[in-house]
């Protein structure tokens, strides 16, 4: 995209094909005037630099973000002018005005008679998008394989059930019919497993949902048999708006995550349910302007590092008695809602975060 033509256009801020596209980018765009003061930040740049356009406009860029190391921003801007070429800096550590250090890729271009254009991209975001794309391919391949396997298993199960019913009708003694009922029960159990292998049953039926009502329902279900040594804590943002979702499927998602957390702490730890509103949230190759985030946090031993990249795949589990279907179902439901789910883990803290977009869905 030709950012220069867009940024130097007098129509900036009023056209969909110009500023509208820059506003939607997941890369940060910063326009400096010839005095090296900020004229414009797009929302992604606001997110990366943790400053709003109204706060930044007219200020020197160096007040907001200082590169770590001997080469300052002025040196980079001068190099772009002197060489007449675009300047690239990869994985550049920058100190923000909030005191935090962020690692960004930076591209500096000279705008003839209009200052400089700086493009910023989060190294973490690039890695996450690469990971998301890989997970998407693996997830779709696994789902296709499992649906084919489920189809092959379900056909003979229907024959077994029919034969068991015929046999049950022919047997004269109740004690013998008990065996056919065991067969029928086990066939139905296997059919249920096969249905779970095939993924979530049907598309979500969307309606306005208070996420806290869903979480409180899950809490009541969980507390009926909560281990004595386990503490369930809550940190809710009461200002959250309603989301468009299927409440029954959301209960399935959060009960699953809470049960996993309960098993992780082995009945002797803390589990936290936390809700927040987030702005400029990157997932699935785009920036979402607003999203509701729900975190399920436990203080258990953590998930082994070699399992983390595969944690949402079917039949992957860290527990000997587990089937490895729960998190795959969670991911399928969340994806069907246009959301995202992510896990980060270290000894003493595992966090499952679920995001639901607040943009109007078509």
Task: Read off φ and ψ for residue 280, nearest 5 degrees.
Answer: 55, 60
Instruction: Supply the pLDDT for residue 100.
Output: 81
Vertex 282: Cα angle to 279 and 285 (nearest 5): 145
pLDDT at 57: 92
What is the chain's mean pLDDT, rounded? 81
For 87-114, what is each residue's pLDDT tens digit? Answer: 888 888 888 888 788 888 889 899 887 8
* 314-335 per-position pLDDT tens digit: 666 666 555 556 788 888 889 8
Q: Quick one: average pLDDT of 64-70?
A: 74
Does the domain spanning 3-122 belong to CATH 3.30.450.20?
A: yes
DSSP-derived 3-state class of residue 183: helix
Quick one: pLDDT at residue 347? 92
Residue 78, both tokens: 């001068």
Q: What is the DSSP letter of 14?
A: T
Q: What is the pLDDT of residue 15?
A: 40
Averaged pLDDT for residues 286-294: 83
Closest CA to 105 of 87, 124, 118, 92: 92
What does pTM read for this prediction?
0.61
**263 secondary structure, DSSP code:** H
CA geometry: angle at 105 spanning 102 and 106, to 5°?
A: 105
Closest by CA position to 275, among listed 296, 289, 260: 296
pLDDT confidence band for 17 (50 / 70 / 90): very low
Determine how β-strand 38-41 pairs with β-strand 65-67.
unpaired
pLDDT reported for residue 14: 43
Query: What pLDDT is stored for residue 11 in this prediction?
Result: 42
d(CA 257, CA 254): 5
Longest dimension (CA), the chain: 98
CA distance 159 to 152: 12
- For the chain, the structural domain boundaries read 3-122, 128-197, 207-357
Res 204 pLDDT > 60: yes
| pLDDT, position 129 | 63
Q: Please report which residue ranges of 57-117 form alpha helices under DSSP H.
A: 61-64, 73-83
Nearest-angstrom CA–CA distance, 77 and 58? 17
70 burial type by CB count under 10 A (0-12 exposed, 13-18 middle, 19+ buried) = exposed
What pLDDT, in 10s, does the model give residues 262-278? 888 887 889 999 999 98
pLDDT for the residue numbered 304? 87
Q: What percentage of the chain reaches a pLDDT higher than 70?
A: 79
Chain CA centroid to CA 272, Å: 18
Q: Please check whether residue 86 is in contact with residue 80, taking contact to mean a CB–CB distance below 8 angstroms.
A: yes
Higher pLDDT, 219 or 73: 219
- Measured torsion, CA atoms of residues 212, 214, 219, 220, in degrees rounded to the nearest 10: 120
Integer Cα distance of 296 and 334 in angstroms: 15
**pLDDT above 90 for 175:** no
**Topology, domain 207-357:** Heat Shock Protein 90 (3.30.565)
């Amino acid at each position: 995209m030709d950012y220069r033509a867009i940024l130097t256009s007098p129509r900036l801020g009023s056209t969909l094909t110009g500023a509208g596209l820059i506003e939607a980018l997941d890369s940060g765009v910063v326009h400096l005037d010839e005095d090296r003061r900020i004229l414009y930040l797009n929302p992604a740049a606001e997110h990366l630099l943790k400053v709003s356009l109204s706060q930044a406009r007219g200020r020197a860029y160096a007040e907001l973000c200082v590169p770590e190391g001997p080469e300052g921003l002025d040196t980079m801007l001068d190099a772009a002018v002197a060489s007449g070429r675009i300047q690239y800096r990869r994985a550049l550590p920058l100190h923000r005005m909030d005191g935090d250090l962020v690692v960004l890729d930076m591209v500096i271009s000279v705008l003839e008679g209009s200052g400089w254009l700086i493009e910023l991209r989060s190294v973490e975001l690039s890695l996450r998008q690469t990971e998301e794309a890989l997970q998407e391919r693996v997830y779709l391949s696994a789902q296709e394989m499992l649906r084919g396997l489920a189809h092959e298993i379900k056909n003979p199960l229907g024959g077994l059930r029919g034969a068991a019913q015929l046999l049950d009708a022919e047997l004269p003694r109740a004690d013998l019919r008990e065996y056919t009922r065991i067969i029928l029960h086990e066939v139905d159990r296997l059919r249920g497993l096969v249905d779970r292998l095939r993924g979530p049953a049907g598309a979500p039926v969307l309606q306005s949902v208070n996420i806290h009502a869903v979480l409180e329902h899950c809490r009541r279900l969980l507390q009926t048999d909560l281990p004595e040594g386990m503490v369930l804590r809550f940190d809710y943002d009461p200002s959250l708006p309603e989301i468009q979702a299927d409440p029954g499927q959301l209960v399935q998602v959060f009960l699953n995550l809470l049960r996993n957390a309960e098993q992780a702490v082995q009945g002797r730890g803390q589990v936290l349910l936390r809700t927040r509103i987030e702005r400029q949230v990157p997932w699935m190759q785009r920036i979402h302007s607003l999203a509701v985030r729900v975190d399920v946090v436990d203080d258990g031993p953590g998930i082994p590092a070699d399992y983390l990249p595969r944690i949402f795949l079917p039949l992957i589990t860290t527990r000997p008695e587990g089937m490895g279907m729960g998190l795959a179902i969670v991911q399928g439901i969340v994806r069907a809602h246009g959301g995202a789910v992510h896990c980060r883990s270290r000894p003493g803290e595992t966090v499952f975060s679920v995001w639901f977009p607040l943009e109007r869905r078509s």
